[in-house]
Amino acid sequence: MGWFKMTTTQSTARRAALFAASILFVAGLLSLLNWIPLIIQKQKLKSFSSPDAAAKELHVRKIYLPSYLPEHLNLAWPPSEVYGQDVPFSAVVMYLSFKQRPEIGLALHQSDAQASYMIEPRIKIRPGQTSSQISLKGRRAMLVPAICDDNTPCNQLSWDEHGTIITLIGKFSAQDIIKIASSMIPDA
Amino acid sequence: MYIMQTVLHSFTALIIIELSFYAWDIQDHLSRFRYRLMPLVLPIFMFPLYQILSPERGTWHFRLTTALFDSHRWLELKFLNIYPVALLVLTVLVGFSCVFLFQEILPIFRRRNSQPQHTECPEGEEDVRLILKSACALLGTEEPGVIIIETPAPVLFTQGYKKHSIVISSGLIALLDREQLRNALIHEVVHMKRSSNLKTQIIYLVRMLMFYNPVSLVEFRRIVHDDEFICDAITISMTRHSQALISALSAFYYHPDEELPGKLSQMKEQVESHSHNLLLDERIRNLTEDRYRNSTRFVLTQYLLTLSAILLVGYGVV
């Protein structure tokens, strides 16, 4: 009787292990199938380890990076997430997290001005007051004060930089986002 | 998006249940019947359920960083200004929708408009009633009505959802001996007891909701087949006379006229009769090889584990 019980337990454990292996096999197969299109068409949206890695692989003219981040904002550099694509239009998306917490504090989007749609930013905003047009090193930029989805005040700033639309969304004041944006534009 | 995801969820569920059959060594058809309901029913609810639980599931970020499989990557593949995968998927879905329309919906209307007129024939009714009386007493079910139709073709089926009647042809009564007839009728009473007609109707309605889905088509047919295997297993557990059931089943082989090749309607009839005969072959093989003797029992833990695996993997398939 004891032998029988032992055999049944062993058999159940073996079957459970086989079942777990089967599920892992399905997950592995799906991941493989998910990876193949990226090999076939390399230029589609994908993630990069750093802005440099994105610049090397993508055919984007220039990746606009901020040269100044106000210390008091506690934003971590380099970006925690970098994504980019050449197809269907050229675009680079970067997210900077706060130093002490994994929450995203700044979103940097740049995409071709001819793009038929925009890559939806991960920081969701609800436009609050009316937007205003400001001058940013001689460029016309649109500043939108807003409320983020976690009910914190944030600001969105966007402008056209020689055929590339650059959009910044930051969970901080308008002054700070203007300073960061200014640092992205090379001096004439 | 909903259509694509239901199809993908059905496919993953189908693969997972087939692997579960192997891993858990599930042989008996009652368990298989229950498992097969999963790829048919779950995909209808999976997409809305996931969207309610995590609305960000549709975003590019989820697709890129969390999803196990993102269908957009394949559908958006572009060669020479066309989307070959998207076109192929569209063709398959339209093709299966046409199969549903022409093979399942139109024949219903055609049959309604041209119901074959069989004359009822009381001959042999007493025998049938006697066998049914003892079978119903054995299974503890209400005695059904009996309709005997005058035709030489072997006909036997149960009709009705709550109040059943068994329709049998005079040709079949003449063809089968008493023991064979008893086995065939008990098989029908088991269908009544299991409410097979009602279950099949409900499952068919579910299948109709995903008329475009190839997995639904295949799984619905396999569920119907499983129901036949279950009824066969119960029948021989009662009669202990598998040979009589085998002989009764053999009477139902159908070979349409093979002349006039090339006619579309004839080809269709031949395909249908071939699949009908294949099912009979499998039922007879199961009985001959005594496969119903060592049926494993249904284990709820295994079922729930399989269900959880389908839901978990499905979450990652967008």
User: What interhelical angle do B2-23 and B300-315 show, nearest 10?
Assistant: 140
**Cβ neighbours of A38 in B, within 8 Å:** 73
User: Which residue from A minimizes the CA distance to B306?
Assistant: A19
pLDDT (tens digit, 9 = 90+) per residue, B163-172? 889 999 988 9
Mean pLDDT taken over chain B? 88
What pLDDT is attached to residue B140? 87
Which residue is closest to A84 within chain B, CA to CA?
B64
> What does the alpha-carbon distance between residue B43 and residue B213 come to, in Å, rounded to a whole number?
10
Task: Identify the pLDDT of residue A63.
Answer: 92
A 10 A CB-CB count for B288 gives 11
| Interatomic CA distance for residues B77 and B109, integer angstroms | 41
How many CB pairs lie under 8 A apart between chains A and B? 70
Largest CA distance in chain A: 89
On chain B, the residues whose CB falls within 8 A of the CB of A19 are 19-20, 23-24, 302, 305-306, 309
Q: Please, which residues have CB within 8 angstroms of residue B210's CB and are 6 or more apart in sequence?
A: B6, B10, B40, B43, B44, B216
pLDDT band at B80 (very low <50, low <70, confident <90, very high): confident
Q: How distant is the Cα of A56 from the closest Cα of chain B, in angstroms?
A: 20
Write out chain B residues lying below 8 Å of A102, CB-based. Answer: none
Residues of chain A with pLDDT under 50: none
B178-193 and B196-209 are packed helices; what angle lies between their axes, rounded to 10 degrees?
A: 60
- B232: tokens are 């066969």
pLDDT of residue B283: 93
| Cβ atoms within 10 Å of A61's Cβ, excluding its own | 13
How far is residue B257 from each of residues B171, B250, B265, B273, measured CA to CA in Å?
19, 18, 12, 11
d(CA A43, CA B272): 48
Contact B23 A30 (CB under 8 A): no
User: Of all residues in chain B, what percent carry a pLDDT higher than 90?
Assistant: 52
Within chain B, how many helices (H) and strands (E) appear? 14, 3
Q: Which of B18, B56, B69 to mutate to test the interface with A (most CBs of A within 10 A)?
A: B69
- Determine contact, residues A138/A130, Cβ cutoff 8 Å: no
> How close A148 comes to chain B (CA, Å)?
16
The larger pLDDT score, comparing residue B298 to residue B35, is at B35
Beta bridge partners of B165: B145, B159
Residues of A in contact with B80 (CB under 8 A): none
Q: In what side-by-side order are the strands of the sheet with B156-159? A: B145-149, B165-169, B156-159
Q: Is B25 left (phi over 0), alpha (psi -120 to 50) or beta?
A: left
Q: What is the pLDDT of residue A188?
A: 66
Q: Which residue of B has its CA nearest to A123?
A: B61
Residue B121 confidence (pLDDT) above 80: no
pLDDT for A39: 85
> Which pLDDT does position A182 carry in this prediction?
92
What global pTM score does this model have? 0.82
CA distance B282 to chain A (A): 27
Q: pLDDT tier at B267 (50, 70, 90 boundaries)?
A: confident
pLDDT digit string, tens, across residues B194-236: 999 999 999 999 999 999 999 999 999 999 999 999 999 999 9
The domain total for chain B is 1
The band of B298, judged by pLDDT with boundaries at 50, 70 and 90, is confident
pLDDT at residue B240 greater than cutoff 80:
yes
Could you give the dihedral angle defined by the CA atoms of residues B155, B158, B160 and B163, in that order, rounded to the nearest 10 degrees? 130
Note down the domain range covering B149: 2-315
Give the distance from CA B200 to its chain's centroid: 8
- Residues on chain B touching A87 (C-beta within 8 angstroms): 78
Give A164 to chain B, closest Cα distance, Å.
Answer: 21
Mean pLDDT computed over B237-254: 89
- Backbone phi, psi, residue A64, to 5°: -85, 120
Contact B317 A30 (CB under 8 A): yes
Q: Are B275 and B225 in contact (CB under 8 A)?
A: no
| Min Cα–Cα distance to chain B from A86, Å | 14
What confidence score (pLDDT) does residue B126 get? 81
Among A134-138, B183-187, B291-295, the range scoring the smallest mean pLDDT is B291-295
Name the more confident of B140 and B37. Answer: B37
User: CA distances (Å), B27 to each of A114, A137, B34, B55, B88, in order?
Assistant: 59, 75, 12, 39, 35
pLDDT at A9: 79
**Spatial contact of B172 and B151, defined as CB atoms under 8 Å apart:** no
Residue A118 and residue B164: Cα distance in Å, rounded?
Answer: 61
Q: Is the confidence at residue B114, as pLDDT, over 70?
A: no
Kindly tell me if the per-residue pLDDT of B311 is higher than 90.
Answer: yes
B67/A contact by beta carbon, under 8 A = yes
Percent of chain B with pLDDT over 70: 92
In this complex, which of B22, B60, B74 lies closest to A119 when CB atoms are compared? B60
What is the ipTM metric for this complex?
0.83
